[in-house]
Structure 1
C-alpha cells in the first residue's frame, strides 16, 4: 500500500473509531446504562466492523488488539462522556448520533475497501468488505441496546450510501486519481449522501 494512503487510512480509522464510539456512548446514555455497559457498547460499536472485516480476511492480530491505545481512550470516554452528555438535550443527542454515525460509516467503509484491495480481493468482494466494515459496528450497537438494527428498520439509504461510495473509491482508484483525494472524495460522498438522504427523508422502495 502507498505510504500516503497508509497514513490516510490510519487517520481515517482513528476518526471513525472515535465517531462510532461516541455514537455508542450516546445510545448507551439513552438506555441509561452504567459505565461498564457504556464501555462495552462503545467498544463494540467502534471495533465491531473492523473485527468482522479482519475475521473475513483472516487478518491477525485484530485491529483493536494491535492498537490498545484506542481501547484505552474509549475506556476514558466511557467514564467521562456521561458528564458531558448530561448537559446536552435529546435533540442535540439525536443530531450528534446521526453525524457521528455518518462519519463512521464513510470512514470505515472506504478504509475497509482499501484494506480488502490490498489483500488482493476482487472488486465486488472489496466493496462488500467496505460495507461490512462500515455498518457492522452500528448493528452490534443496536443489538446490545436491544434495538432492531438501523440497517433493517430504517428505509432511508444507509448501507446503500456506503455501497455507492465504495464503488466511487474503486472507480477513482482504477483511474489512478491521487489516493489522498480519492479517499477524501469517496468518504465525503458517503457522509454527505447519508446526511442529505436523512434530511430529505428519501426512502428506498419496499
Structure 2
C-alpha cells in the first residue's frame, strides 16, 4: 500500500473512531448508562464495523487489539463523558449526532473498501465490505441501546450513500487515480450525500 495512503487511512480511522464514539457517548447518555455501559456502547460503535470487516477478511489481530491506545482513551473518557455531554447539552443535539454518524459512515466505508481491494477482493465485493464496515458500528450501537437500527427505521438513504461512495472509490482505483485523493473524494461524497438526502428528506421507496 502506498505510504501516503497508509497515512491517510490511519488519520481517517482515528477521525472515524472519534466520530462514532461521540455518537455512542450521546446514545449512552440518553439511556442514562453508567461509565462502563457508556464505554461498551462507545467501543462497540467505534470498532464494531471494523471488527466485522476483520472477521470477514480473516485479518488478525483485530484493529482495536493492535491499537489499544484508542481503547484505553475511550475507557478513560467514558468516566467523564456524561459530565462533559451534560455541560455541553445544547451543542449535542440530533443534528450533531447525524453529522458525527455521517462522518463515521464515510470514513469507515471508504477505508474498508480500500483494505478489501488491498486484500485482492473483486470491486463489487470490496464495495460491500466497505458498506459493512461503515454501517455495522451504528447497528450494534442501536441494538445495545434497545433501538431498531437506524439503517432499518430510516427510509432516507444511508447504506445506499455508502455503497455508491464505495463504488466511486473502486472506480477511481480502477483507473489508477491518485489513491489519497480517491479516498478523500469518495469519503466527502458519502458525507455530503448523507447530509443532503437527510436535509431534503429524500426517501427510498418502500
Q: TM-score, normalised by structure 2?
A: 0.97
SS in 2 for 1:167: helix
The answer to whether the aligner puts 1:183 opposite 2:183 as a matched pair is: yes
What is the RMSD of the two structures over their aligned residues, measured on CA atoms? 1.1
Q: Deviations over 1:120-144 (max 9, x none)?
A: 1111110010000000000000000
Moved over 2 A (4+): 87-93
Q: Which residue of 1 aligns with 2:4?
A: 4
Q: Which residue of 2 aligns with 1:71?
A: 71
- Taking the aligned partners of 1:92 and 1:196, their CA distance within structure 2 comes to 20
Q: Which residue of 1 aligns with 2:86?
A: 86
- Structure 1, unmatched stretches of 5+, are none
- Taking the aligned partners of 1:122 and 1:138, their CA distance within structure 2 comes to 26
Q: Deviations over 1:51-100 (max 9, x none)?
A: 00000000000000000001011112211221121023467321211111
Cα pair 2:16 2:108 within 8 Å, conserved: yes
- Taking the aligned partners of 2:91 and 2:193, their CA distance within structure 1 comes to 21
The answer to whether the aligner puts 1:118 opposite 2:118 as a matched pair is: yes
- Structure 2, unmatched stretches of 5+, are none
Q: Which residue of 1 aligns with 2:104?
A: 104
Cα deviation for residue 6 of structure 1 reads: 0.8
Q: Which residue of 2 aligns with 1:21?
A: 21
Cα pair 1:114 1:126 within 8 Å, conserved: yes
Cα deviation for residue 175 of structure 1 reads: 1.7
Aligned residues: 206
Alignment of 1:123-134 (within 5 A): 123-134=123-134
- Taking the aligned partners of 2:132 and 2:175, their CA distance within structure 1 comes to 25
